[in-house]
Structure 1
Amino acid sequence: MTPDVILVRPLPDYTLVAQFATGEWRRFDMRSYLHYPAFAALQDPALFQRAHVEHGAVTWTDEIDLSPDTLYLRGESVPGAEA
């Protein structure tokens, strides 16, 4: 089972850096997802910067979220990352 996200930092280049309940950090590039209708609104930098954690997932609005599975399995490890 994939651990929950406990902290997320959205970066200006449409990248997320997330910490998981295990203490691991992963970097995830959202740019390839922004052309999908479900994520298209995140092309607005102000909206993208509102990323936060709800119930272990990264969320922007009631309709836009990203599962911890996607972040964990497709993200790259960031050794030694700090909040």
Structure 2
Amino acid sequence: MFLEVIKAQYVNEYRIKLWFNNGEMRMVDLKDSLNGPVFQPLKDLDFFKKFAIRFNTIEWPNEADFAPEYLYGIGTPISG
């Protein structure tokens, strides 16, 4: 199955709750993943909160994104 993010909700700090097309929900903390020039703007929490789902994952206005497989892999499973 091709993994896709189908819903995303900001939680706090650099944490986002994600729903995947395989029926699982995961909590991701991206604080330690914001490395490199494209991710520098995301260190500003106001900018970080401006993500949207685009092309099967979350993406920010500066076109920074993470592969859904990466998000799934670093995410902690959650229920309900």
TM-score relative to the length of structure 2: 0.86
- Stretches of 4+ aligned residues off by more than 4 angstroms: none
Q: Secondary structure at the match of 1:66?
A: coil
RMSD, aligned α-carbons: 1.5
**Long gaps (5+) in structure 2:** none
**Long gaps (5+) in structure 1:** none
Instruction: State the match for 1:50 in structure 2.
Output: 50
Question: Percent of aligned positions with the same letter in both sequences?
Answer: 29
In 2, Cα distance between the equivalents of 1:60 and 1:79? Answer: 26
In 2, Cα distance between the equivalents of 1:74 and 1:42? Answer: 18
Greater share of residues in helix? 2
TM-score relative to the length of structure 1: 0.84
How many equivalent pairs are there? 80
